[in-house]
A and B are shown apart, each in its own frame.
Chain A
């Protein structure tokens, strides 16, 4: 359903573009008729045609996203309605009409972009949007280093040594975030001085982050007055800098709530489904309860809306079947029915279920009731399933996820790849730099995993400095390439500490299912490969024996792979 929705949005977009393209001609046409009306005010047909075209524009512009034009045309239409047609050209009236038409033409010129933004953007467009960071730093080496670190964490970065150059770049292509040094070769406090100019050139409210060796009041105050949102002293702590960037560009976006609707009425289910979808939720509909469990495993809903009366079984019975599965013990189930007798409602809740929504229900009520419950379920679930330091899945949830994905793989066919990662010489990081620094290293690997893995990949903190990643529907080669890139990137991240800079690497072992099918042997096999990676010298990714044999000579095509044999 979601895919359909996107395809439709795309095609709507095409229609919108056609409308935009015709708009100038259309307004010119209205202008032409208005001239003819002025030349022959007595021509009633001409007047009617003029009115009709304004009316049509009032009705259609809004639908194509030109809300301003729609409103303006509506006002003109209403004005025309109040006049006698013969009076359109009276002194005061014709002036009003002229200025309304001019306003429409102006709006058409500047309105196109804004209107386009109001159309739903496709997910595809959003996915590869990497925020653009501009760095102003006269120390060229440091500038390059900052840009490189930004790139590691999924930003597009460019650095310039002078104000003049960054302004020129900003004119060509506006940035999403600025990182500005305070003192430049041009003079002290040059960074804060040019900040307003930079911001005026580009998008609105672009975050400004200042960096400096200075730590005095004057410098700090200057950045505040320039509208800076953060201040980092050199030497830079890149981990905190990135964390701040992530916050500023709002990259921690949450996934849409997944709602499963179980209702034998196709029409009604799809209606409620579209209401929830329009509110930004992701919806799956089950019309036949016997398909329920399979669909749930694939969709993993945050909430289930259950029709109470279905021909195959009652909603209460279906809910009980769901509850038999330990994984769904706390999943919210909301009954949906025309049942208004309180006693019957209470009975339904007593057996199992969390709430009762009565049909007919207003769209707003439905959206509020469902999103509120889905949010609470998800919040609680996150607390229970995630590791508090990194936000990744914790040990138990990772194993549950692996179990689920293995079952899915077996049912669907295809293959799954599983990897275990361990930070090299982590104990010495803790011993030399202290636990807070060790935590920073762990967090930075977690962040790297979150940002660089694909949306479908599942990462967890397996314990201490050990991580695990599930790559569903992924062959060894693809997972290997991904992980080896990550390994390289991770090893290039520098951590700053009083004693100076250091960097860290990780080792990883990869295995796949099939050949392994049960969770324990998958984990053991990946763990063995990880051990081989450590033994082989660390900072490397190693394929498990049997997986390597399974892909056969394919292994030779993996550059730099040391096989665990």
Chain B
């Protein structure tokens, strides 16, 4: 009865990907992991995720650029987005939010609370 939320997840670091996958497993999330913005853009046309989780700083195409390209796809124009980044300063968070991000998760993050953190961001913006 619990609705599983599908997440399109983009992170270039394999270690962090592994931790995130573990952290969100069995927590009501289904993760589609991509190692780069390019891979996400390749996969996106066939997906309708409930949430996009994006690392900010990646080689080749960075997180914000990936997002703007994803937004060009008509079925992803309104999909909620959360950024993950090492640099969390208030001014930056505002910038990400201006890019329609619901929130920002700071790195390093605590794997044991990640699922809760994501849910909290979703609920805060869902107006429950």
Contacts and interface: CB of A to CB of B under 8 A. Distances in A.
Partners in one complex: yes
A400 B23 CA distance: 41
A11 B22 contact: yes
Contacts of B75: none
Nearest to B26: A4
B18 A270 contact: no
Contact of B111 (A55, A56, A63): A63
A18 B85 CA distance: 23
Contact of B86 (A12, A18, A74, A359): A74
B54 to A, nearest CB: 13
A268 B122 CA distance: 11
A360 B119 CA distance: 13
A60 B107 contact: yes
Given A60-B15, A63-B16, A271-B123, A266 B108 contact: no
A22 to B, nearest CB: 8
A30 B109 CA distance: 23
Contacts of A360: 123-124, 128
Contacts of A265: 128
B26 A59 contact: no
Interface string A43-56: 00000110010011
Given A19-B15, A63-B16, A12 B107 contact: no
B116 A278 contact: yes
Contacts of B16: 56, 59-60, 63
Contacts of B110: 63
Nearest to A271: B119
A62 B108 contact: yes
Nearest to B114: A63
Contacts of B32: none
A230 to B, nearest CB: 38
A274 B113 contact: yes
A60 B12 CA distance: 11
Contacts of A52: 57, 59
A40 interface: no
Contacts of A203: none
Nearest to A4: B26
Contact of A271 (B22, B86, B120): B120
B112 A267 contact: no
A345 to B, nearest CB: 19
Contact of B116 (A15, A49, A74, A275): A275
A48 B109 CA distance: 25
B28 interface: yes
A443 interface: no
A79 to B, nearest CB: 14
Interface in A1-17: 4-5, 8-9, 11-12, 15
A211 interface: no
Contacts of A4: 26
B41 interface: no
A270 to B, nearest CB: 7
A70 interface: yes
A4 B28 CA distance: 13
Contacts of A274: 113, 115-116, 119
Given A19-B15, A63-B16, A55 B119 contact: no
A48 B23 CA distance: 30
B85 to A, nearest CB: 8
Given A59-B107, A278-B112, A268 B59 contact: no
A120 interface: yes
B1 A8 contact: no
A206 to B, nearest CB: 30
A409 B18 CA distance: 43
Contacts of A268: 123, 128
B44 interface: no
Given A268-B128, A360-B124, A278 B113 contact: yes
Among the interface residues A18, A56, A74, which one has the most CB atoms of the partner chain B within 10 A?
Answer: A56
A470 interface: no
Contact of A58 (B19, B86, B109, B115): B86
A97 B120 CA distance: 39
Contact of B108 (A18, A49, A70, A270): A70
A523 interface: no
Contacts of B13: 56, 59-60
A61 interface: yes
A363 B86 CA distance: 23
A8 B12 CA distance: 23
A104 to B, nearest CB: 15
Contacts of A22: 15
B108 A63 contact: yes
Contacts of A267: 2, 28, 119, 123
Interface-centre pick from B15, B18, B57 (highest chain A CB count, 10 A): B15
Contacts of A8: 22-23, 26, 112
Contacts of A336: none
Contacts of B59: 48-49, 52
A64 B108 CA distance: 8
Interface string A273-309: 0110010000000000000000000000000000000
A441 B42 CA distance: 76
Contact of A64 (B2, B19, B119): B19
13 contacts: A4-B26, A8-B22, A12-B22, A19-B15, A56-B16, A59-B13, A61-B108, A268-B128, A270-B119, A271-B116, A271-B123, A274-B115, A360-B123
Interface of A: 4-5, 8-9, 11-12, 15, 18-19, 22, 48-49, 52, 55-56, 58-64, 67, 70, 74, 77, 120, 265-268, 270-271, 274-275, 278, 359-360, 363
Given A8-B23, A8-B112, A15-B22, 20 more contacts: A4-B26, A9-B112, A15-B15, A48-B59, A52-B57, A52-B59, A59-B13, A59-B16, A60-B13, A62-B107, A63-B108, A64-B15, A77-B86, A265-B128, A266-B1, A267-B2, A271-B116, A271-B119, A275-B116, A278-B116
